[in-house]
Structure 1
Amino acid sequence: MQQRAHEVGADEKRLRVLHLDIDAFFVAVEVLRDPSLRGLPVIVGGTGKRGVVAAASYEARAYGVHSAMPTAIARKRCPKAIFLHGDHGRYGEVSAQLHELFRTVTPIIEPIALDEAFLDIGGAFRLFGDGAAIATTLRNRILDELGLASSVGVARNKLLAKLASEAAKPKANRGGTRPGRGVVVVAVEDELDFLHAHPIRGLWGVGPKTHERLAAIGVHTIGDLAKIPVDALCTTLGRTSGRHLSQLAMGIDDRPVVSGRGAKSISHEQTFPTDHHDLDALHGVVVRLADAVSTRVRAASLAASTVQIKLRFGDFQTITRSVTPEGELTTATQFIKAASALLNDPELVAAIEERGVRLLGLGAANLASPVGLQLSFDAQLDVTSNVSSTVRGGSDADWAEVTETLDDIRARFGDAAIGPGRLVNTREPGPGRELWGPEADKR
């Protein structure tokens, strides 16, 4: 990016928050890989009966398809869509390239997702121009260097910048996708006019229940909300939520762009083609999930204090269980031991056998930078017998050393080069393959 001196006015200096979002990111990456998909209704996500949509091209969105929609419904709405299971590893690689471009503008970057981030551009004005100039130049670079279209919002705060980037996006309709504005800048004097025209679902904190309560008192737009006295909102929604939404409705959002914000948790989950009633089969899935989660924890140079499991039964009831063992958790063996102990709870075993499990997830929580391995005299690991001779024996120090070797092998030869022995000769998918549900049966 060419650097140049530029004088910026006082009002322009206030518009220091930029929100950038790649248009239909997963689909866009797939189109780069296969240009013949351009202009077609493409859906990325779980391709099986229990899958969910991760992303849809604008051509598919014209038929009412959206993210988080069950794949079965998406197929009915858009029968001619092309369904792709996706490649999360590739999306991560492209995301890393995208963030490298962000860093050429500012070091203050707050990632929201692989394809989305807030940037504080206040320190870049003198080099690159005002917010509109920075947004346009960055957007053009992303298109030229990565082949990805993006939408950018620039405003005084996060709320307005986020809404501005949404306003900049393309629009889907059956007659063809209508290009968006690409960049939308919300000037200080135009903030309330811009904000108040939006529906209340555009505000953070307005979920289905809050939306229902507000609609019951005649509030449908943010402008309607701004007219409600704060005391009345507190009566309807509670003191905290009422005050929060009243502030947002007036365009007040004091949250700074925070760079270097680490992950609060790291998790993987798997949805099964048919419900699992077999505890031993679930322990096999625990091995795979623990391997994937621990690998990501180490790659982020973190350690976990808490292990969580998530179970969704055949009747769709979802429960979670967690445990905080002594010491730091970084290896798959540690995660397997903790998760297996949770899974072996007699009450849970009975529910699994009776009701069946539709989805199993494993997560690492309370993440922090590791402070070092704390050894103990009782360092022998004995992963529960239900994990079919996965690993027995060896201290935490031994397994930390083994894990480091495994990471080195994978870094050199790929994730599939080595893995848990339990998964040899199984059809279990690799890490990241089941994010949106099981693939369609190709037999």
Structure 2
Amino acid sequence: MIDKAIVHMDLDCFFVAVERLRDSKLNGKPVIVGGLSDRGVVSACSYEARTFGVRSAMPMRMARQLCTDAVVLRGDYEAYSQYSSMVTDIIYESAPIVEKSSIDEFYADLTGFERFLGTWKFASELRQKIITETGLSISMALATNKTVSKVATNEVKPARQIQILQGDEKSYLAPLSVSKLPFCGSVTTQTLRNMGILTVDTLSQMPVKLLQNTFGKTGKLLWERANGIDDTPVIPYSEQKSKSKEITLEKDTIDIVFLSRLISKLAEELGYDLRESGFCTCCITLKIRYSNFDTLTRQINVAPISADHDLIHHAIELFKKLFDRRILIRLIGIRASKLVRGQQQLSLYDNSAKLASLYGAIDNIKNRYGTDSIGRAFNFDLNKRKPE
């Protein structure tokens, strides 16, 4: 049986790195990318800023107080998507099976390459090719499964690479904190610590039944990961261009309230589709078609999102800017493009984080009883119409 060879690659401080490529004066300086107002949130920060305690998802006001000399920039997500696509193309052209897990993270299955070029040599050359052709820094780990390769990449960041050989997975993970494992969020980590489980080594020796009684199905998963076991395949990457929802009205109208409700409903449906397929969107486009068949569109680039309230907000704002005629509308639609794999990163300091569990519950109800079974009361009577 051929040993599995899974490489994980992660772009270092990706947003900041792109900004530095566009402005070399930022090199060596503490840089923070995110919302510029005090109510904004840090999307990314340079390693120089991290030494002052700045972290992603931190309120911008706090970040400014911690690092008073930081250069604060509003994110240019169109540029980030372009650079991400460049890296994706390089990996996709070279590796046989590629999974893009987020805008700046990639897995590649290189199983079998050892018989030809040598897996480690190939992976190293691929990483160097990305650095040379894009100017971006990227870290990498090669192991026998996705869990070990991802954990190892995080340990060697920034700008380094490592190989964990077959049979060394468990010993490599053993001394690390349980918080280093995937699926060990803040709540799970704290629960494990309350049980006296601080390291991966201790977790790997716990009875599976005890972990299952505490964490349910996740308990067995945690035990497997702690023991370096992970059979999760690399899902072949094939970029989906966009997702959209639109409807042709039964009767042309200029009723702003009704149209706003309809946009909100379409955005809800789009958000559900995005979350169910594991995508976030970096670009939202609103389309309207007038009764004279003139069609107009307007779009905005955003941070990767899939939450209903964010999609609704941007769609309504686009509508306000786009609808500038007193002409009846016959069609309206929303498109999500520049899709990236992954879930929306929600901040503990942002109201959106409080809605994360709510969206999960709503999606579960829709999965069980149908997409029209639950929704905002403001739009609920619109469930009778069917979008195209």
1:361: Cα distance to partner? 8.9
Kindly report which structure 2 residues correspond to 1:248-267, keeping only aligned pairs within 5 A, or say none.
248-260=225-237
Kindly report which structure 2 residues correspond to 1:14-413, keeping only aligned pairs within 5 A, or say none.
14-122=3-111, 124-130=113-119, 132-170=120-158, 182-238=160-216, 240-260=217-237, 299-300=241-242, 302-303=243-244, 329-330=245-246, 340-341=261-262, 363-366=270-273, 402=295, 406=297
Aligned 8 A contact 2:298 2:322 in 1: no
Query: Matched residues in 2 for 1:70 and 1:94: separation?
Result: 26
Amino acid at match of 2:209: D
Cα offsets for 1:84-116 (capped at 9, x unmatched): 002100111111111111022224111111111
**What's the secondary structure of 1:94's corresponding residue?**
helix
Cα offsets for 1:256-276 (capped at 9, x unmatched): 00013667xxxxxxxxxxxxx
Cα offsets for 1:172-219 (capped at 9, x unmatched): xxxxxxxx5x11111112211111122111222222222222111100
Query: Matched residues in 1 for 2:22 and 2:29: separation?
Result: 14
Amino acid at match of 2:232: R
Query: Matched residues in 2 for 1:120 and 1:331: separation?
Result: 41
Q: Over the residues paired in the alignment, what is the CA RMSD in angstroms? A: 3.7
1:246: Cα distance to partner? 1.2
1:30: Cα distance to partner? 0.5
Query: Matched residues in 2 for 1:78 and 1:101: separation?
Result: 36
Query: CA distance change for structure 1 residues 330 and 341 in 2, over 3 Å: closer, same or farther?
Result: closer
Query: Matched residues in 2 for 1:28 and 1:105: separation?
Result: 23
Cα offsets for 1:131-152 (capped at 9, x unmatched): x212211121111111011100
Query: CA distance change for structure 1 residues 116 and 332 in 2, over 3 Å: closer, same or farther?
Result: farther
**What's the secondary structure of 2:141's corresponding residue?**
strand
More strand by share: 2
Aligned 8 A contact 2:9 2:139 in 1: yes
1:26: Cα distance to partner? 0.6
Query: CA distance change for structure 1 residues 219 and 423 in 2, over 3 Å: closer, same or farther?
Result: same
TM-score (norm 2): 0.67
1:363: Cα distance to partner? 4.7
Q: Counterpart of 2:321?
A: 423
Query: Matched residues in 1 for 2:248 and 2:35: separation?
Result: 26
**What's the secondary structure of 2:29's corresponding residue?**
coil
Query: Matched residues in 2 for 1:199 and 1:49: separation?
Result: 33
Query: Matched residues in 1 for 2:116 and 2:248: separation?
Result: 47
Query: Matched residues in 1 for 2:143 and 2:83: separation?
Result: 26
Query: Matched residues in 2 for 1:155 and 1:87: separation?
Result: 34
**What's the secondary structure of 2:162's corresponding residue?**
strand
Aligned 8 A contact 2:298 2:318 in 1: no
Query: Matched residues in 2 for 1:339 and 1:19: separation?
Result: 43
Higher CA-based Rg:
1
Query: Matched residues in 2 for 1:66 and 1:363: separation?
Result: 31
Query: Matched residues in 1 for 2:269 and 2:74: separation?
Result: 21
Query: Matched residues in 2 for 1:106 and 1:48: separation?
Result: 42
**What's the secondary structure of 1:40's corresponding residue?**
coil
Count of aligned pairs: 295
Aligned 8 A contact 1:106 1:121 in 2: yes
**What's the secondary structure of 2:271's corresponding residue?**
strand
Query: Matched residues in 2 for 1:112 and 1:331: separation?
Result: 32
Aligned 8 A contact 2:141 2:152 in 1: yes
**What's the secondary structure of 1:110's corresponding residue?**
strand
Query: CA distance change for structure 1 residues 343 and 33 in 2, over 3 Å: closer, same or farther?
Result: closer
Query: Matched residues in 2 for 1:424 and 1:341: separation?
Result: 15
Query: Matched residues in 1 for 2:211 and 2:24: separation?
Result: 51
TM-score (norm 1): 0.59
Aligned 8 A contact 1:43 1:60 in 2: yes
Query: Matched residues in 1 for 2:272 and 2:127: separation?
Result: 35
**What's the secondary structure of 1:18's corresponding residue?**
strand
Aligned 8 A contact 1:63 1:77 in 2: yes
Cα offsets for 1:14-55 (capped at 9, x unmatched): 241111011101100100100011011011111111111111
Amino acid at match of 2:230: D
Aligned 8 A contact 1:339 1:362 in 2: no
1:254: Cα distance to partner? 0.8
Aligned 8 A contact 1:53 1:436 in 2: no
Query: Matched residues in 1 for 2:218 and 2:149: separation?
Result: 22
Cα offsets for 1:338-397 (capped at 9, x unmatched): 8715969xxxxxxxxxxxxxxx9995332699xxxxxxxxxxxxxxxxxxxx87758xxx
Query: Matched residues in 2 for 1:143 and 1:47: separation?
Result: 30
